[in-house]
Structure 1
């Protein structure tokens, strides 16, 4: 590399258990690149490094690999305990030896799309854009704080071949619901996201349609109660342990059977259709 290069890291507001930076690399010549870089709290604890120093050090190594003729991916870079080494230097060596692919946020996003399906992700984006155009804000807030590492996302892309995989996917959809960004003005943030959405829909539509439009979300929350296992059951007055009524109701609603791949498709399809129905009803 000929000429001088200056790298600066601007610390962004805290979101979840990670440190986010806006990186700027200026020079040599007319080169001027800006891109995000994130490191999880877990990997920083392992490295025992100052976050700003780590961000600048990693950026120098990233640019050393891709050069200055090509711009870094605009999605930026992500470092966690699964794609990184045990030290900052080991991680930089991985970047230099194996390239940037394992550390790009685009890779993480693509895994997320594989998990939930392009159709669902597209429907989510349509709903977000609709809310921005009509109400001035997105339907969902950012999902980034829901994922601690890329390995978990990769694991979630496997088929729902058993109950553990099935419940894992239900937890992801439950996370979607937890990130709904719609609530009545001045409403306390202590009101959970699903109830906040219902309250908002009651005002903007009516109670019946609010309940209809959020029923699938509620049933997913009911299924979510299967994990952890102690929430799966309740004790009757006679002392018998039985499956909770709300879980039985949800299984009937989605037609959950021992064929968990088919059952997952039922849940997935209903969830995707619910997002579309909210958008169409409010248009």
Structure 2
């Protein structure tokens, strides 16, 4: 199949479509999925050390937000000022893959204990972070805890999240193969949306965007994600101080346990006029 240009984040493919017993050549848009290698530059000015940290399969676009969100939720940085710059440094043979290496320059005063980190990251669009060095390292320490019983979201406001999120999912509308994460005010205003083939990448992009914009910690907003509620999504939300996490799908048992542990309101199966609240009911106004 030959790919031609499509909207940013998507490629146009020549395919064969089978409908009602007949086949026909057509063109279809598919979501882009390409590797991004995240490299860190650390140390004092004039004596910088470059080290490869992670490879993630992502939809190209907002790579700096993705890297910053990832570094924050993994506890490598603690604030936006810890990053001085991000730039693509790839020298790939294929022109379309030239921006698949991102160098994140940490501020000279930002220390990274690579011995303590002591793990190699490989993240995929489907499962998130794999290859943790130990079971203990799966649970990271939250930097920003949500405030107790605050803010409050009405049931009517929650019910409006899915349609608003879907209305801003341009790549999903084009391809049908993309995840999204959106930040909402308690009044129901959609502040920001990020899309990616990986649900955890969409969350990292959203967190990175809010960190860069100075709207952090995210204690005053709720987050809605497409798909299901995994442990890792709750972990990232807890790290950013998100008080409410909602999804169109179901949560896992460990996601519910972690949400309870961090005081996060967890709502699943948010579709139409129905949803389930698995913990943190005190933030819902019925």
TM bin (shorter chain): under 0.3
Greater helix percent: which structure? 1
- Greater fraction of residues in strand: 2
TM-score by length of 2: 0.25
Relative to the length of structure 1, the TM-score reads 0.25
Highest RCO, 1 vs 2 (Cα 8 Å, sep ≥ 6) = 2
Larger radius of gyration: 1
